[in-house]
Chain A
Amino acid sequence: MRVTVRLFARLRDLAGSGELVREVPDPATVRTVWQVLVTELPALQEYERTMSVAVNADYARMSAPVADGDEVAFLPPVSGG
């Protein structure tokens, strides 16, 4: 199945793009998507312990299920305000 990956801030810079469409095995969780991503882009790995994740613009956990067509976002520590 196919998911849209959204990346922000330094994660986006490291990946060279803020939006990627990727094939992932079915069934998948957010962790599956992350593993596909870091296999392709090992530089992202350093964020595994500090990032947050979201599915369809709602905060989620790495164990959350992901369906075909979902938008999965990986978010570095935030610095708004």
Chain B
Amino acid sequence: MVPLVAVTAAPLDLSTLIAAVAQSASADGAITSFVGLVRDHNQGRRVSFLEYEAYDSLAVRALNLIIEEARETWPGARLGVHHRTGRLEIGEASIIIVAASPHRAAAFASCRYVIERVKQIVPIWKHEHFDGGDVWLEGATADPADEAARAQARRIACA
């Protein structure tokens, strides 16, 4: 049985997660998915590879919280998200998200909401290795109680 939420060093498999989310999906009219990839450039640097580090137990908890939040806004949506850790080469998937819903609007929006919230509050970090060095990337100060950040994610999701 594939979990709907996972933080794993193993390669991600979209079709497996789609199957897990789509179980008993006769009421669903739409499934959307998002696959985040390691790209070969960032802020003018030529990226060689990324290493992802996670606080696994809290990352799983934060991902589950994000799914609960999404279901408050889109009650019919069912979601799954897997995030990878460890060394990832260019072109590999770092995150996969699947959303199923009776209607496409909620499937698209809830899927987008999840990736925006992941970038805000999930304790995972990229260690970028590029031509000439390496750097820890630092984005948002994680605060699940920050309602302004949550509202921003919802706005982007519904744009």
Which bucket holds chain A's interface residue count? 20 to 34
A46, B52: Cα distance in complex, Å: 22
Task: Flag whether A50 is at the interface (Cβ < 8 A).
Answer: yes
Residue in A closest to B52 when the chains form the complex, CB atoms: A80
Task: Flag whether B54 is at the interface (Cβ < 8 A).
Answer: yes
Do A9 and B127 touch (CB < 8 A)? yes
Q: Mark B118-156, 1 if CB is under 8 A from A, else 0.
A: 111111111100000000111111111100000000000
With A57-B55, A73-B55 in contact, is A80–B61 under 8 Å at CB?
no
Number of A-B contacts (CB under 8 A): 93
In the complex, which of the residues B95, B143, B144, B145 contacts A81, with contact meaning CB atoms closer than 8 Å? B95
Do A8 and B138 touch (CB < 8 A)? no
Nearest Cβ in chain A — how far from B3, in angstroms? 17
Task: Flag whether B83 is at the interface (Cβ < 8 A).
Answer: yes
Do A9 and B61 touch (CB < 8 A)? no
In the complex, which of the residues B53, B55, B120, B124 contacts A54, with contact meaning CB atoms closer than 8 Å? B55
In the complex, which of the residues A6, A10, A57, A73 contacts B136, with contact meaning CB atoms closer than 8 Å? A10
B residues in contact with A12, CB < 8 Å? 53
A59, B144: Cα distance in complex, Å: 8
CB-based closest 10 A-B pairs: A80-B124, A9-B125, A79-B137, A77-B138, A57-B57, A10-B136, A52-B142, A79-B139, A57-B58, A79-B126
> Can you offer 11 A-B residue contacts whose CB atoms are under 8 A?
A9-B138, A10-B125, A52-B142, A59-B142, A59-B143, A59-B145, A75-B142, A78-B125, A78-B140, A78-B142, A80-B119
Add 15 more A-B contacts to A6-B55, A52-B123, A57-B61 (CB < 8 A): A10-B125, A12-B53, A52-B142, A57-B55, A76-B138, A77-B140, A78-B124, A78-B125, A78-B140, A79-B125, A80-B52, A80-B83, A80-B95, A80-B123, A81-B119
